[in-house]
Structure 1
Amino acid sequence: MGPETQGEQGARPSMLLQALRKRLGEHPLRRLGPGLITGVADDDPSGVVTYTQAGAQFGFNMLWTMPLAFPLMAAMQLICARIGRVTGKGLAANIETAFPPFVLRGVVILLVVANTLNIAADLAAMGEVAELTSGIDRHWMGIGFALGSLLLQVFVPYHRYVVFLKWLTVSLLAYAAVLLTVHVPWRTVALRTLWPDLTIDSASAAVVVAVFGTTISPYLFFWQTSEEVEEMEQDPAALPLRDANVAAVTATGELRRIGWDTWTGMFYSDITGYFVILATAVTLHASGIQSIDTAAQAASALRPLAGDLAYALFSIGIVSVGLIGVPVLAGSGAYAIAEVMHWEEGLERKPAAAHGFYGIIALSMLVATGIQYSPISPMKALFWSAVINGVVAVPLMIVVLLLAARPSVMGQFTASRPILALGWIATAVMGAAVMAMLLM
């Protein structure tokens, strides 16, 4: 390549300056990537109610799960994000090329079943908390939320409306604010976070499975992998990192971005869960409420902060995280099936360009809406959907970790030994908890 002309030399600083000004001029929320979106979606209604149940039932003795979960959940999401950015393909497409067909069919069926049950539980809970504050029948409210979420997914690119929904999730920080209004025995909190006084039986094992199942969830694996692919496809100049034409500096920068984005998103999710468990331990558990059967019981954890507005504050939090989480649940299943069927896919595409993809989303929302009419309590349904996610996650985690370690899939960007070690530890912890729950 010949020397740059004087015009080219002058143009380069100008282009860099323009890019810098454009970057600095963007709203900070618009720079949030798939990692942070995934972290926010991780605290869906199922997560909030699971943490509430953990704090109410076991007090401070379930706090240890969140510090342990943080590096494990971050490692799994980091691996999934890298798979998407390195290969330029979603998780199902990568599984299809690296494993026998029965493996792909098995994980996709498990994913879709778990997601549909989770969506149903989320919609039912959103309807119940809306009824709590509005007086309108929960089933009609659930149908309204399902229809509204579906219309947004089909006709509005997800990255546009999720910017506004993120602000509503700030209501979850109310659980941290509760700790400023009540007495908290911080020495005991620190002790039980590090050394719980907990008897391992089927009940405690089920809560552990639920907590890990709602933080390390199968749908999040598929979602973040596919969102990395979508972000790459939005840039005409971007290529999969394993492509020979990708410069080393570009690959290094992208992997650093993925790492920062994912660790940040998972930290937000994890610390929020810790505050929910702690706040419910010092309010609900301390007052003798150890089983969450209704939205009113769950909302009462916020009463020391919000008083009579506790129900409204709880409702805002559940509905907002539900409106973020439901598209992630529906979308992750649609991504997986579309990749298996080799359909056009993506929440950034027009409906006419990806009718099969959006058809799967619509079908899952329809089935989930019907399931919410079951007699089970919405709060109980949320908890058990987290348990189901925890059970389903174990075989899928094994498949993901094997993918990330294969040079035939990842090229020179196979996952590092420390990250793989964290992933296998996460799998072992969840597997042990599932076995304890089933055998005790």
Structure 2
Amino acid sequence: MRPRWRARRRRRKRAEAGAMAFVRASLPALITGGAGDDPAGILTYTVVGATTGFSQLWLILLSTPMLAAANSMAARVALAAKDGLAAVIRKRYGRTASMVIVLALAAANIATISADAAGVAAALEMVTGIRWEWLLPLILAVLLLVLQEGYTRVKRVLVSLSAVLLAYVFAALLAHPEWPAVFKATFLPHVSTQRAWLVASLGILGTTVSPYLLFWQAGEEIEELQEGIIIQANTSDAGVWLGMLFSNLIAFFIVVAAAATIHSQGGQIQTVADAAQALAPLGRVGQALFITGFLAAGLLALPVLAGSTAYAVAEAFGWPEGLGAAKAHARGFYAVLVGSLLVGMGLALWPHFRPTEALFYSQVLDGALLPVLMLMLLVLSNDRRIVGEATNPRWINLTAVMTIGLALLANALALFG
């Protein structure tokens, strides 16, 4: 009896250890996934639902493995090389290639910070009645206070904000959509040749797989290693899948809520206020859920945007980095992090600043960067000199090739369509 009891105890301990390893691997990916649904993304998904109804839900399903493959490769390279993504690119492809990618990433991130900050402030204005320009310093102060707390506490705050995004699930349920139509649109692809439909489809693909998320995912894996948390490649893949499923689940329900309410009314969405007002059929609770989710998305995405910029710049120059690093030791990293927030919010206060144009051009930069970055990641994550035996599974390689093809097609349509 005693040997059998001991065997059961060992199995239970192994199961508990495996579950804890999965949870540890999932937390960074949940933050990355939640940050992917930033205010710009929420507006994009709302516009998609408002203009095309349920017809593009299948694209969200299709983009889930693409998103998981991209972030799995970033995590795999970081874990194996024990270095950030920009640092590995610098060592493998040279400083020039690294600097070109980092400069494009920084420009796109700062433009997105500006537009996201303006969106969060506009949502707060709807709640408080205070002019949004006066709320930007408050948002900046909150972000800086959070980022002062070190990686472990920052991670807890960001995970909590990710959970708030579940508000969009409840908003969609309150909209009472036609569920048979939702399921049909999800699993039976429909393609339209109308320009509005094609533009919306590019918006979904461009918003879903964002380059800044790859640098953040890699940076988080290094932070976890520095905290003494060892994550295996297969466990990391499972954690990434959970995070990306969460991200696209939120995107799915945002589209459903907008399609069930705004599309049927023929409304148009350009601002946060437009979106909230168009969701009036959901009632006050539904509108409150939308605004709550929007605020959480902004407060989650802004540190991630600034953090991914700081990781990339510090790695490109070979500086000390990390939210867990002492301020005196990683001055360059923290200077870029704070500087990107200051510049981004300064641009938002510029009288001639147009958030929609900033988002458009940031998407153009991200779209141009994505196929190049994905190709580099595909090579790096199959290079045994870098990742050893932890090369990509076949499904990641196939999905990465498909993602590169779609990204190149999207760029061609943007240039010549």
Q: TM-score, normalised by structure 2?
A: 0.89
After superposition, residues 67-82 of structure 1 pair within 5 angstroms as 67-82=61-76
Q: Does 1:259 align with 2:253?
A: no
| Cα offsets for 1:348-394 (capped at 9, x unmatched) | 12211211100001111111012113545546654664454333322
Greater alpha carbon shift after TM alignment, 376-385 vs 334-343: 376-385
Shift of 1:327: 1.1
Give, in whole Å, the separation in 1 of the partners of 2:16 and 2:387.
33
Letter matched to residue 303 of structure 1: A
Greater alpha carbon shift after TM alignment, 317-326 vs 158-167: 158-167
Give, in whole Å, the separation in 1 of the partners of 2:50 and 2:399.
29
| Alignment match, 1:423 | 400
| Cα offsets for 1:389-438 (capped at 9, x unmatched) | 33332221121112112222222222123211111111111221221132
| Cα offsets for 1:175-197 (capped at 9, x unmatched) | 33244334423333333332225
Secondary structure of the residue that 2:173 maps to in structure 1?
coil
Secondary structure of the residue that 1:352 maps to in structure 2?
coil
Q: Does 1:46 align with 2:40?
A: yes
| Alignment match, 2:216 | 223
1:344–1:353 CA contact under 8 A, matched in 2: yes
| Alignment match, 2:119 | 125
1:209–1:430 CA contact under 8 A, matched in 2: no
Q: Does 1:366 align with 2:360?
A: no
Shift of 1:168: 4.2
Letter matched to residue 295 of structure 2: V
Greater alpha carbon shift after TM alignment, 142-151 vs 317-326: 142-151
| Cα offsets for 1:329-358 (capped at 9, x unmatched) | 111111111112111100112211211100
2:72–2:237 CA contact under 8 A, matched in 1: yes
Give, in whole Å, the separation in 2 of the partners of 1:164 and 1:100.
36
| Alignment match, 1:270 | 248
1:74–1:263 CA contact under 8 A, matched in 2: yes
- Residue of structure 2 aligned with 1:408, choices 385, 394, 404: 385
| Alignment match, 2:290 | 314
Secondary structure of the residue that 1:283 maps to in structure 2?
helix
| Alignment match, 2:103 | 109
- Residue of structure 2 aligned with 1:195, choices 189, 194, 200: 189
Letter matched to residue 339 of structure 2: L
Give, in whole Å, the separation in 2 of the partners of 1:341 and 1:299.
43
Give, in whole Å, the separation in 1 of the partners of 2:365 and 2:19.
43
Give, in whole Å, the separation in 2 of the partners of 1:234 and 1:77.
21
**CA pair 84-219 structure 1, distance change in 2 beyond 3 A:** same
Q: Does 1:89 align with 2:83?
A: yes
RMSD between aligned alpha carbons?
2.9
Give, in whole Å, the separation in 2 of the partners of 1:360 and 1:265.
27
Give, in whole Å, the separation in 2 of the partners of 1:143 and 1:279.
32
Q: Does 1:331 align with 2:304?
A: no
Q: TM-score, normalised by structure 1?
A: 0.84
Shift of 1:316: 1.9
Secondary structure of the residue that 1:413 maps to in structure 2?
coil
Letter matched to residue 265 of structure 1: G
Letter matched to residue 65 of structure 1: L
| Alignment match, 2:204 | 211
Letter matched to residue 278 of structure 1: V
Shift of 1:147: 2.8
| Alignment match, 1:5 | none
Aligned-residue sequence identity (percent) comes to 35
Count of paired positions: 408
- Residue of structure 2 aligned with 1:282, choices 243, 246, 260: 260
Please list every run of 5 or more consecutive structure 2 residues that lacks an aligned counterpart in the other structure: 1-6
- Residue of structure 2 aligned with 1:297, choices 256, 267, 274: 274
**Larger Rg over CA atoms:** 1
Give, in whole Å, the separation in 1 of the partners of 2:174 and 2:304.
34
| Alignment match, 1:166 | 159
**CA pair 170-416 structure 1, distance change in 2 beyond 3 A:** closer
| Alignment match, 1:56 | 50
1:46–1:386 CA contact under 8 A, matched in 2: no
Secondary structure of the residue that 2:165 maps to in structure 1?
helix
Shift of 1:209: 2.8
Greater alpha carbon shift after TM alignment, 127-136 vs 32-41: 32-41
Greater alpha carbon shift after TM alignment, 254-263 vs 310-319: 310-319
| Alignment match, 1:3 | none
